[in-house]
A and B are shown apart, each in its own frame.
Chain A
Amino acid sequence: NAGVTQTPKFQVLKTGQSMTLQCAQDMNHEYMSWYRQDPGMGLRLIHYSVGAGITDQGEVPNGYNVSRSTTEDFPLRLLSAAPSQTSVYFCASSYSYSNQPQHFGDGTRLSIL
């Protein structure tokens, strides 16, 4: 049972480069979300999805794009990386009910030079 799988675990980019952080879950969860966590801070919601084809913005969506073509996958795209996007990124999934816990991946540590 893999749960929530994030790839890569570590990445270094140069300013202006683009990349996609991958997130996959095998629990048939409708709800998936992306968070970023800056050093010493709590998690901030970037984007979320309640099902295939449906996405919406969280607290800090600027500079990030998402799409949800399948239930299993929810990639996060940085179109033009900036040093301010240096952070640890967490993906999470759950059933779409308020009494359901979220399952988190192990995170992607992203540094932008």
Chain B
Amino acid sequence: DAKTTQPNSMESNEEEPVHLPCNHSTISGTDYIHWYRQLPSQGPEYVIHGLTSNVNNRMASLAIAEDRKSSTLILHRATLRDAAVYYCILRDVGGFNKFYFGSGTKLNVKP
């Protein structure tokens, strides 16, 4: 099963952009890249997902490398409410699909 690697923590200033990286060098051609975040004492929350092309939604943007071995979640203007643990996950379609979380990146946002 393909796994992901993320930095343990990152820090950002409020209202500045944040780029959260993720490496997934063993990704297969049909794996979708999903991002979730977990606020303190809450369950994970879906943020965005993509396959090959860059994606935008109201929460964030997802930039996917051309070889798909890495991706970056972009928060355009960080707010204090964006302080959370961000998880990059590959959704495997082979047979019964599994959904493995790594340890994620803890994002601290400074006022």
Whether chain B is bound by chain A comes out as yes
Q: Which A residues are closer than 8 A to B by beta carbons? A: 31, 33, 35, 41-45, 48, 50, 54, 56, 58-59, 90, 92, 96-107
Q: Could you give, for residues 80-111 of chain B, a 1 whenever the CB lies within 8 Å of some chain A CB and a 0 otherwise?
A: 00000101000111001111111110000000
- Name the segment of B13-21, B27-35, B70-78 touching the other chain: B27-35
In the complex, how many residues of chain B place their beta carbon closer than 8 angstroms to a beta carbon of chain A?
26
Q: Which residue of A lies closest to B92 (CB)?
A: A98
- CB of A104 within 8 A of CB of B102, answer no
7 closest residue pairs by CB, A with B: A104-B43, A101-B46, A43-B101, A98-B91, A98-B93, A98-B32, A42-B103
Q: Which residue of A lies closest to B45 (CB)?
A: A104
Question: Hey, which chain A residues are within 8 Å of B36, CB to CB?
Answer: 102
Q: Which residue of B lies closest to A54 (CB)?
A: B96
Complex: A106 Cα to B102 Cα, angstroms: 20
- CB of B96 within 8 A of CB of A48, answer yes
Question: Hey, which chain A residues are within 8 Å of B93, CB to CB?
Answer: 97-98
Q: A98-B31, A101-B34 are in contact. Are A90 and B43 (CB under 8 A)?
A: yes
- CB of A106 within 8 A of CB of B42, answer yes
Question: Hey, which chain B residues are within 8 Å of A92, CB to CB?
Answer: 43-44, 99
Q: Chain A's nearest CB lies how many Å from the CB of B11?
A: 18
Q: Which residue of B lies closest to A99 (CB)?
A: B32
